[in-house]
Amino acid sequence: MSQLNPRQREAVRYIDGPLLVLAGAGSGKTSVITRKIAYLVETCGLRASRIAAVTFTNKAAREMKDRVGKLLGGNAAEGLTVSTFHQLGLKIIRSELKLLGLKNGFSIFDGQDTQSLIKDLLIQEHGSDGDQAGIIQQQISNWKNDRVLPEQALAGASGPAQMLCAQAYRRYQRALKAYNALDFDDLILLPTILFESHADILEKWQNTIHYLLVDEYQDTNSSQYLLVRQLVGVRGALTVVGDDDQSIYAWRGARPENLAQLQEDFPGLKLVKLEQNYRSTSRILKAANTLIANNDHVFEKQLWSELGYGDPLRVIRCADENHEAEQVVAEILDHKLRKRTRFGDYAILYRGNHQSRLIELALQQQQVPYHLSGGTSFFARNEVKDIMAYLRLIVNENDDNAFLRIANVPRRKLGASTLEALGNFANEQHCSLSQAIGRIGSGVLPEAGRNRLREFRLWMDRIRRQCEGGGGISAVRQMIREMDYEEWLNQLSSSEDVAERRMGNVHFLVDSLNRVMTDEGVELDEAISRLILRDLMEQQEEEDASPDNVQLMTMHASKGLEFPHVFIIGMEENLLPHRASVEDGNIEEERRLAYVGITRAQQTLAMTMAARRRQFGETINCEPSRFIDELPQDDLTWQGTDVDDQQANEERGQETLAGLKELFA
Ligand code: ATP
Ligand code: MG
């Protein structure tokens, strides 16, 4: 407690009713949550298993659990729930399966599964080419986040486009049910619906969770918020912390106004504001404050710190994107040498994942160790998706998406026409593809195709029995051997090295599964669900991150983190702010994103911009981001060649070259 300031202490000690801690970046909001959990256990005598904390990423959840564990010592933190909203939802769903009409071993569809399902439905049932699947997927997700059910969507649809969307939604829900599957949004939606209709179940959960804490509250959407309200009930044992200026997930339905909503729904809400920042130099804070002053605010606040005025913020002008990457890496190497820092002290932040590629190359060239967060996630790799599909099919034979992914991987001579005939038959019979195999008669399919399908199903059934019969992980290993997946990878890969690396990923996946089973004491099917969920939250690789790496990530992913030295690259119009947001006039959200990026920095901050950049095969001229203009100009130093000079130089160089060529011609 002595390490906290009086305001923070007040927030930790206040347990008489709902509490909102509203504060800017780096003011110790997350620290308050961690301390408060310890306080509730140590001083208030609450059992850790009666406390739940919700964070935004798995990584944050793990870190928080670690910290609380250290604060409390021993096994006092045992049973504490620290999770994301989705994990919490999954936990509730798992224990109320029957009421929800789900069978054991249900599947969780990721965005890709969802989209391909919608696409199939559009093609099959609406005679469309499926182009709109992405848009419809987003609309369905919006509906789910706003708790609009298919019937309501249909009733409210105006115009043919919305009608199509709503029909697709209804059809999609039916398909999910048939597959015994849930999508990501369902993990929140279903518990809230269940709680609404079953007061006794709600009461049971309210009695399980005696105190709820929520970090990064500004990014909860309305169905997540409802879940909070339901769980807290009239008891009001709730602490939420947030910063409206860091709300950056509008596209997932989060709104800064949600913070104000809280005051309406909890009339007794106590508000604590924190304004001292413990992370950054005054100069960095001044820049952040000045920038964000251009936005409308829900709550006014002004950050300050006692960490000295600090170095000026640097704006580094570069000729193009290659130059930008080289510059950043050169700066890091130079700075590290002079200041004797570690690579892990540096972070490179950007607006979109594609911006990391050249930086990665430049880092590799200079042999700088780095860690990329949230790039091509481990689980997005083909071989991993294949094996995951097999696993999904083991726990749920009706998971048609998984079935379709691997029916012919490795090749089993099950051609498109065989699968299509099977699909049509399954539709008629209202059963899953696996089930259809058992029922299909000779009139529907040629004998050879039918036999191959049967063979496949018999084999899968045997594997499933082995897994269920306690065979666990060794049954999975045997399955991979029996289908000779390694040989398949050899055929598929451009070189032996590639095949070997891919098989390595498969082994890693199986080992991870094994680890989840032993560490978390769960059966294979539960372990698979947990892995799938973690995959969706993109974190698996982070566990392997060795500590001394330059960190590369999007500004979205940098939320809640801090680094001594930060580079924000691509400070240009159409990158930050992003082109789509410029076109939609949604600049405020982009400004908040820039604010998040800037406030990650503890000691130094540099921003780069390129004069030209290749985009879609052509070179375009870039304009500095408007956000640079909005920073306090006296606190900036400009670095790098003046772009116009450089252009002139280059043109002069070209002329000389042309002259020389002429001379030698
Ligand atoms: P963000 O808005 O970025 O999520 P936050 O408000 O959650 O930031 P924290 O991450 O909790 O802030 O804290 C920022 C830094 O300040 C951390 O390094 C933390 O250890 C430190 N800190 C928090 N409170 C204090 C304090 N009272 N005294 C000294 N350091 C503190
Ligand atoms: Mg935080």
User: Which ipTM value was assigned to this complex?
Assistant: 0.99
Distances (CA, A) of 265 to 18, 218, 234, 237, 258: 10, 16, 11, 14, 10
In the reported structure, the alpha carbon of residue 90 is separated from the centroid of ligand 1 by a whole-number distance in angstroms of: 30
Given a contact cutoff of 8 angstroms between Cβ atoms, the answer to whether 347 and 554 are in contact is no
Told to judge if 381 belongs to the known catalytic residues of this protein, a careful annotator would answer no
Token pair recorded at residue 361:
């190359």
As a whole number of angstroms, the distance between CA 483 and CA 203 comes to: 49
Question: Which ranges of 483-523 would DSSP assign to H, the alpha helix?
Answer: 485-492, 496-520
Confidence label for 372 from pLDDT (cuts 50, 70 and 90): confident
The answer on whether 27 is annotated among ligand-binding residues is: yes
Of 21, 22, 30, 66, the residue with max ligand 1 atoms within 8 A of its CB, to mutate for a pocket test, comes to 30
Q: Are residues 638 and 654 in the same domain?
A: yes
150 plus 64 within the same structural domain: no
192 is a domain residue: no
Q: Which is catalytic among the residues 96, 113, 186, 216?
A: 216
Name the E strands within 156-285.
Answer: 181-183, 211-214, 238-242, 270-274, 276-277
363 Cβ contact partners less than 8 Å away, ≥ 6 residues apart = 329, 370, 550
Residue 649 belongs to domain spanning = 304-373+547-664
Give the residue, by CA position, lying nearest to ligand 1 atom 23: 28
Task: Establish whether 530 is a catalytic residue.
Answer: no
**pTM for the model:** 0.80
402 marked ligand binding residue: no
The reported pLDDT for the residue numbered 662 is 59
Comparing C-alpha atoms, which of 327, 361, 342 is closest to residue 565? 342
Element (H, E) at 118: helix 111-126
Is 296 part of a structural domain of the chain? no
Condensed to tens digits (0 to 9), the pLDDT of residues 529-570 reads 777 776 655 443 454 455 789 999 999 989 999 999 999 999
Please write the tens of the pLDDT for every residue from 506-535.
998 898 888 888 888 888 888 887 777 766
**pLDDT tens digits for 217-243?**
988 888 899 999 999 998 889 999 999
**How crowded is residue 637: how many other Cβ atoms within 10 Å of its Cβ?**
12
Could you say which ligand is closest to the alpha carbon of residue 279? 1
Q: Which atom of ligand 1 is nearest to the CA of 24?
A: 2
Non-local (6+) Cβ contacts of 654 within 8 A are none
Three-state DSSP state, 347? strand
Considering only residues 652 and 472, tell me which one the structure prediction assigns the higher pLDDT: 472
Tokens of 557: 């992913």
Q: Is residue 319 part of a domain?
A: yes
- Tell me how many domains the chain contains: 4
The better pLDDT of the pair 646, 600 is held by: 600
Cα–Cα distance for residue pair 302/292, rounded to 1 Å? 10
Q: Rg (Cα) of the chain, in Å, rounded?
A: 27
Tens of pLDDT, residues 138-179: 999 999 988 899 999 999 988 888 898 999 999 899 888 877
Average pLDDT over the chain reads 88
Return the pLDDT at 2. Answer: 78
Calpha distance 352→552 (Å, rounded) = 11
Q: Is 127 annotated as a binding residue?
A: no
Please tell me whether residues 558 and 632 are part of one structural domain.
yes
Task: Find out whether 13 is annotated in a ligand binding site.
Answer: no
Distances from the Cα of 520 to the Cα of 92, 143, 512, 633, angstroms: 17, 35, 12, 53
pLDDT of residue 628: 97
pLDDT for residue 540: 39
Evaluate if residue 294 carries a pLDDT over 80: yes
259 lies in the same domain as 209: yes
**Residues linked to residue 621 through DSSP beta bridges, in sequence order:** 612
Query: Do residues 490 and 551 share a domain?
Result: no
* CATH number of the domain enclosing 598: 3.40.50.300
From residue 81, give the alpha-carbon distance in Å to each of 18, 50, 66, 106, 555. Answer: 19, 8, 12, 23, 27
Domain endpoint, select from 227, 257, 274: 274
Q: Strand pairing partners for 239?
A: 19, 213
Q: Are residues 86 and 207 in the same domain?
A: yes
- Whether residue 279 lies inside any domain: the answer is no
Measured CA to CA, the distance from residue 68 to residue 76 in angstroms comes to: 9
Integer Cα distance of 423 and 426 in angstroms: 5
What is the average per-residue pLDDT within 315-338?
94
For residue 516, give the CATH number of its domain.
Answer: 1.10.486.10
Answer whether residue 80 is part of any domain: yes
| Helix axes of 186-197 and 222-232: crossing angle, nearest 10 degrees | 40
| Mean pLDDT of the 257-263 span | 78
> Is residue 563 located within the same domain as residue 638?
yes
Segment 581-639, tens digit of pLDDT: 999 888 999 999 999 999 999 999 999 999 999 877 788 999 999 999 999 999 999 99
DSSP 637: E
By C-alpha distance, which of 319, 271, 309 is closest to 287? 309
How far from chain centre, in Å, is Cα 352? Answer: 13
Residue 226 resides in a domain? yes
Residue 474: inside a domain: yes
Q: Which residues line ligand 1 (CB under 6 A)?
A: 3-5, 8, 23, 25-31, 243, 246, 278-279, 560, 562
Asked if 536 and 552 sit in the same domain, the reply is: no
Q: Are residues 356 and 217 in the same domain?
A: no
The percent of residues above 90 in pLDDT, for the chain, comes to 53
First-to-final CA distance of the chain: 81
Residue 297 is encoded by which pair of tokens? Answer: 């605010």
Q: Is 331 a catalytic residue?
A: no
Residue whose structure tokens are 């997946």: 485
Q: What is the mean pLDDT of residues 277-305?
A: 91
Same domain, yes or no: 529 and 551: no
Please check whether residue 188 lies inside any domain of the structure: no
Best-predicted range by mean pLDDT (131-135, 196-200, 359-363): 196-200
Q: Is 30 noted as a catalytic residue in this protein?
A: yes
Q: Between these two residues, 655 and 122, which has the higher pLDDT value?
A: 122
Gap between the Cα atoms of 357 and 395, Å rounded: 37
